[in-house]
Amino acid sequence: MRAEWTKMRTVRSTVWTLLAMAVITLGIAALATSTIASRWNTFSPLRRLTFDPTSMSLRGLLFSQLIIGVLGVLVMSAEYGTGTIRATLAAEPRRARVLIAKSAVFFVLAAVVGEVLAFGGFAIGQSLLTSPVPHATLSQPGVLRAVMGGGLVIAVLGLFALGLATIIRHSAGAITAYVGVLLVVPIILQTLPSSFSEPILKFMPFTISNAMTSVASQGSTAFSPWVGFSILVGYAIVSLAIGGWLLAKRDA
């Protein structure tokens, strides 16, 4: 476990990636909310009524989801790319333990970073939403769940990506698969008739995380936040389980 932490910490790209993730996520929170604030006068009454200040300040988390996925992939695939995996598995031949230790360390790292960015984005966003624009506080119903949940989604998606990388073993392939599931599939689905796409879209991480980071209910187009979240956890567990099984079975 400590060894896995040493490994993540001692590669310069981990630090840079997390830094980039923070800048982009917080930057988008600031940009999105300040744009709203400056345009508020032009909004229609309906738009003003359905405006969700929490969700707006968490917009940047979508980029965090992308970047944490790339990082989750790299944490595993870099070992294959560089051959470090053989040193790792020689040092700890119980391969399941290697994957568990790596997942645990990465989950904690991603959860901490995810929460910091979710709460940070929320704080920045709300401070920029000045009267007459409504802003949210954590004590309002559903707000704390949206912010905290937004951070948790980051951590779970990171694990899902780590699982994909364990299965695929190549950075480019695993990142493609991850981005495909996260963004490309939902975009394609949205071009199809909704009677066909809606039941599938409900299961997409994109939809699930939207429901989580919104205070308002998404109606029948999405699962409720925690049901969706459980499905997301399911994806992560399945990808890690398949990855772990293959890791044990395959030659290093």
Partner 1 sequence: MIDVRGVTKRFKDNVAVDDLHFEVPTGVVTGFLGPNGSGKSTTMRIIMGLDHADQGEAVINGTPYRKLAQPLREVGALLEAKAIHPGRTAFNHLWFLAQTNGIPRRRVHDVIELVGLDQVANRRVGKFSLGMGQRLGIAAALLGDPGTLLFDEPINGLDPEGILWVRNLLKGLASEGRTVFVSSHLMSEMALTADHLVVIGRGRLISTGSVGEFIATNAGQYVRVRTPRPDELEGLLEAQGAQIRREGDGSLSVSNLSAEQIGITSGNAGISLYELSPQSASLEDAFMEMTRDSVEYHGQRLDGATATTIGK
Closest CB 144 distance from partner 1, rounded Å: 37
Work out whether the CA dihedral 215, 221, 224, 228 comes out positive or negative.
Answer: negative
- Please report which helix (H) or strand (E) contains residue 29, including its range: helix 12-39
Closest CB 104 distance from partner 1, rounded Å: 14
Identify which range of 2-10, 40-48, 188-196, 238-246 contacts partner 1 by CB under 8 A. 2-10
Closest CB 81 distance from partner 1, rounded Å: 9
Question: Which residue of 19, 93, 96, 234 would you call a contact of partner 1, by CB under 8 A?
Answer: 93
24 burial type by CB count under 10 A (0-12 exposed, 13-18 middle, 19+ buried)? middle
Closest CB 246 distance from partner 1, rounded Å: 12
Question: Which residue of 24, 31, 78, 123 would you call a contact of partner 1, by CB under 8 A?
Answer: 78
C-beta of 14 vs 214, nearer to partner 1: 14
Contact call for residue 112 and partner 1 (CB under 8 A): no
- Residue 195: φ, ψ to 5°: -60, -30
Question: Which residue of 35, 84, 127, 140 would you call a contact of partner 1, by CB under 8 A?
Answer: 84
- Cα gap 163→241, rounded to integer Å: 8
Closest CB 17 distance from partner 1, rounded Å: 12
- Cα gap 122→33, rounded to integer Å: 10
One-letter identity of residue 60: G
Contact call for residue 87 and partner 1 (CB under 8 A): yes
Question: Which residue of 45, 90, 131, 219 would you call a contact of partner 1, by CB under 8 A?
Answer: 90
Do 149 and 55 contact (CB within 8 A), yes or no? no
Question: Which residue of 19, 38, 39, 82 would you call a contact of partner 1, by CB under 8 A?
Answer: 82
Tokens of 111: 């959860």
Closest CB 116 distance from partner 1, rounded Å: 24
167-226: which residues touch partner 1 (CB under 8 A)?
Answer: none
13-52: which residues touch partner 1 (CB under 8 A)?
Answer: 13
Do 110 and 73 contact (CB within 8 A), yes or no? no
Contact call for residue 234 and partner 1 (CB under 8 A): no
- Cα gap 57→31, rounded to integer Å: 9
Tokens of 15: 């630090």
213 burial type by CB count under 10 A (0-12 exposed, 13-18 middle, 19+ buried)? buried
C-beta of 14 vs 55, nearer to partner 1: 14
- Cα gap 68→227, rounded to integer Å: 22
Question: Which residue of 45, 91, 132, 195 would you call a contact of partner 1, by CB under 8 A?
Answer: 91
Count of residues that bind partner 1 according to CB under 8 A: 26
- Cα gap 233→9, rounded to integer Å: 25
The residues that touch partner 1, with contacts defined as CB under 8 A, are 2-4, 6-7, 10-13, 78-79, 82-84, 86-94, 249, 251-252
